[in-house]
A and B are shown apart, each in its own frame.
Chain A
Amino acid sequence: MRAPSRLLGAAIGAVLALSLSGCGSSAPEGTGQVKLTLWHNSADPAPLLEMYKKFEKQSGHKIELVSIPSDGFEDTTQTKWATGDRPDILEYHATASGLLALNPAENLRDLTGEAYIARSGDLYQSAGSVNGKVYAAITGFPQVFGLYYNKKVFTAAGLTPPTNFAELAATCPKLKAAGVTPVFESGGSIWPVQILPILYLAGANQSNAYGKAIAGHSSTLADAGSPFVAGLTAYAKLQADGCFNKDIVTAKFEDSMKALVTGKAAMVAQHSDMLPALLAAAGDDQKTVDESVGFVGLSSDKPLVTYAPGPIGTFYLPKTGDAAREKAALDFVRFMTGPAYAEYITASKTFPVFKDVPDPQGVSSVLQDVKKAYDTGAVIAFNSDIPGMGGLAQLMSELIAGQKDPQKAATQLQGQVEQAAKAAGLPGW
């Protein structure tokens, strides 16, 4: 009996030791340095990953990167989050709808008053904050949504890229006559097909008026003649007129990038964070991309780009209850938004969100087009502040398959918004 007892004791001891070591993101003794867990998007560009290493070097803290695949990023993050697991630093969406789903008041540290907020202009009025409290540290330039177009195709057809939906509808038959797919849509990846309707709505969403009306419940998506129904109707008409690729249901996002670069398709509705994918489709040849691809704003009636703060470079600090790690996590935010930020902008060749940091040199011509369109007229995506809009892409799939008409799709989505808004306890619901 004694031997088994001793064995049992040893086993329990070993399990306890292992369990304790598993909790070991605390400090190596006496150094004041800790191990921080960072859940990050797998699409983080190399210069951002380099910044994490620089922070490690400067602070002596260790960062354990937990990579969350960018395909299905929201679902996977939510799944991990729902288990009660919390990283020290979380990279996630800065939109109010994304933030509300994290239950910030309960789970996230309030960063209101940090120095970087004042340097960011009015960014935090539309992103990274809820009920007047700032929870996010946004370091990435917003995702800018618009229309990528193949310059060579348009030049050969003697056309200019459309900047409103009437022009888009008129351009379609001319491009088809030239033997080119006018607009390439990627229903096989599901999420890209919601972009065109969102672009359409920029016209009605100046100063986020439409988004606020839906989130505040003073209008509904399904109101008779609503801008949302009009956007879906315009999309359905483009499809009926044959403006899209034949394999719209199965085509993947990567196919759209390739079709655009090769000139098989004339236009793709996408956002600016997809430029690396565009470059990959061109065989990493920046010259090919610069020579063949341009970018313009598009909405129902005028040249507007739609922007939404993206997840790349947006950081939150979940409450962990460990004072040393919480302090180190705050140091990380201060590092990312501090003097090192200018180096990051130079290395990444992206545009800064802080007013006191100059634009980088040597930016690609497509990104310059993006910035130009953004400076000319930018409207926040109407769905940024509305919880429960995650079902839009699925409904677009049903619209494309002819299973739903625009009005029915709008009614169903309104139901999902109501479900989320009530759960989030938004005023007016």
Chain B
Amino acid sequence: MVMRNRAAWLPWALPAIVLVMVFFVAPFLLNVRFAFSSWTSFRAEITWNGLENVRTLIDQDLLANAVTVTVLYAILCMAIQNTVSLSLALALQRTSGINTVFRSAFFLPTLISPLAAGYIWRGLLAPEGAVNSFLGIEWAWLGEPSTALVVVAFIDAWKWSGLITLVYIAGLNSIPKSLLESATVDGAGPWTRFRRVVFPLLAPALTFNVAVTLVGALSAYDVIAATTGGGPGDHTRALNVVMRQQWGQGFFGSASALGFTVTLLVIATAVPLVWWLRRREVTG
């Protein structure tokens, strides 16, 4: 029975499988060797050098900080985006004229280039920018080590929350009304309905959104580059920012090693996370 099902689904999955193989798996397999090579712009020969690139990155105090910043940033982005988006989805779930206007307004930043979004916010958050003028304070939001990473994560959330909200709205609308009505008849208040009925049944949307926001933030570059460039100091210097800097200096092997680290990080966090969330969908 299982075999027959698989055989029936294969033709439908084939285009996706081919695309993933051609554009992701094959380039990855073809390029992964560069992470363990002496590839630089200084000479033509590329030789195998084992873990030398990783050792160099550790010796230069670059790798540990970049991994820490990347993981922290990813957790912040995932938490902020999902909290904000779920709240927005609950507020805008009902389809009405005014809600459609708000949905569109919150979706608009998704259409803006991440670099443009970064530049806009950098201007707004400058010490003499509009945000400080409005609040009547003087604070370098992107220049203070204590706030820079969190603020950049908020900018990323502002950029993508509209999309995540739509997925949550779709999830909310797929919950049968009869279940909610039964819960109400049984005396469940709004909070109990949300906790015991809505949230468990939102599991597929939650799986998708948590995975997408986490994986997206693990490979962050554009918003960080446009707002802080990795600063102040190295407080927002994520793996891809360091990769770009290594590449710019002609150290292509080290840059590839950093790219490989991002891939490992995505696999190590996303795969168990998705597995656990999917399991929750079955049992929840």
Contacts and interface: CB of A to CB of B under 8 A. Distances in A.
Interface of A: 72, 74-75, 78-79, 81-82, 100-103, 106, 187-188, 190, 246-250, 387-388, 390-391, 394, 397-398, 400-404, 412, 415-416, 419-420, 423-425
Contacts of A78: 41, 247-250
A424 B127 CA distance: 43
Given A188-B229, A403-B234, A250 B126 contact: yes
Contacts of A423: 38, 40, 42-43, 250-251
B143 A247 contact: yes
B232 A75 contact: no
Contacts of A388: 249
Contact of A101 (B42, B59, B127): B42
A328 B140 CA distance: 53
A416 B56 CA distance: 9
10 contacts: A101-B249, A103-B42, A249-B142, A250-B122, A394-B230, A394-B234, A398-B233, A403-B233, A419-B254, A425-B42
Interface string B7-50: 00000000000000000000000000000001011111000000
B165 to A, nearest CB: 31
A144 B143 CA distance: 30
A424 B143 contact: no
B108 to A, nearest CB: 26
Given A78-B41, A102-B41, A103-B43, A419 B251 contact: yes
A415 B56 contact: yes
B249 A82 contact: no
Contact of A394 (B126, B245, B247, B252): B245
Nearest to B138: A246
B60 interface: yes
B186 interface: no
Given A401-B231, A419-B251, 14 more contacts: A75-B244, A75-B247, A100-B42, A101-B41, A101-B250, A188-B229, A250-B122, A250-B143, A390-B245, A394-B230, A402-B233, A412-B61, A419-B254, A420-B40
A78 B247 CA distance: 8
B232 A397 contact: yes
Interface of B: 38, 40-44, 56, 59-61, 122, 126-128, 140, 142-145, 229-235, 244-245, 247-252, 254
Q: Which 3 A-B pairs have the closest CB atoms?
A: A401-B233, A75-B248, A249-B143
B233 A250 contact: no
A365 B244 CA distance: 40
Say whether chain B's binding surface is mostly helix, strand, loop, or mixed: loop
Given A249-B140, A397-B232, A419-B251, A412 B60 contact: yes
Query: Which of A246, A248, A391 counts the most B-chain CB atoms under 10 A from its CB?
Result: A391
B42 A424 contact: yes
Nearest to B43: A103
B155 to A, nearest CB: 14
A420 B42 CA distance: 8
Contact of B140 (A100, A247, A403): A247
B233 A420 contact: no
B60 A415 contact: yes
A227 to B, nearest CB: 22
Contacts of A412: 60-61
Contacts of B244: 75
Contacts of B249: 78, 101, 388, 390-391, 416, 420
B250 A250 contact: no
A74 B44 contact: no
B44 A106 contact: yes
A401 B44 CA distance: 38
Contacts of A247: 126-128, 140, 143
Nearest to A419: B56
Contacts of B252: 82
A398 B65 CA distance: 12
A401 B250 CA distance: 26
Contacts of A82: 41, 247, 252
A30 to B, nearest CB: 37
B41 A250 contact: no
B50 to A, nearest CB: 15
B233 A391 contact: no
Contacts of A403: 233-234
A388 B248 CA distance: 11
B179 to A, nearest CB: 51
A401 B229 CA distance: 14
Contacts of B38: 423
B55 to A, nearest CB: 11
Contact of A397 (B60, B127, B231): B231
A246 B229 CA distance: 19
Query: Which of B122, B142, B145, B251 counts the most A-chain CB atoms under 10 A from its CB?
Result: B251
Contact of B233 (A72, A390, A397): A397
Contact of B232 (A249, A416, A419, A424): A249
Query: Which of B233, B234, B254 counts the most A-chain CB atoms under 10 A from its CB?
Result: B233
A78 B234 CA distance: 23
Given A100-B42, A102-B41, A412-B61, A401 B145 contact: yes
Contacts of A81: 41
Query: Which of A188, A390, A425 counts the most B-chain CB atoms under 10 A from its CB?
Result: A188
B250 to A, nearest CB: 4
Contacts of A100: 42
Contacts of A248: 143
A167 B254 CA distance: 42
A185 to B, nearest CB: 12
A428 to B, nearest CB: 15
Contacts of B127: 246-247, 250
B235 A401 contact: yes
Given A101-B42, A249-B140, A416-B60, A190 B231 contact: yes
A249 B250 CA distance: 26
Given A190-B229, A250-B143, A401-B145, A420 B250 contact: yes
A400 B233 contact: yes
A347 to B, nearest CB: 33
Contacts of A72: 248
A4 B65 CA distance: 57
A425 B40 CA distance: 12
A103 B41 CA distance: 6
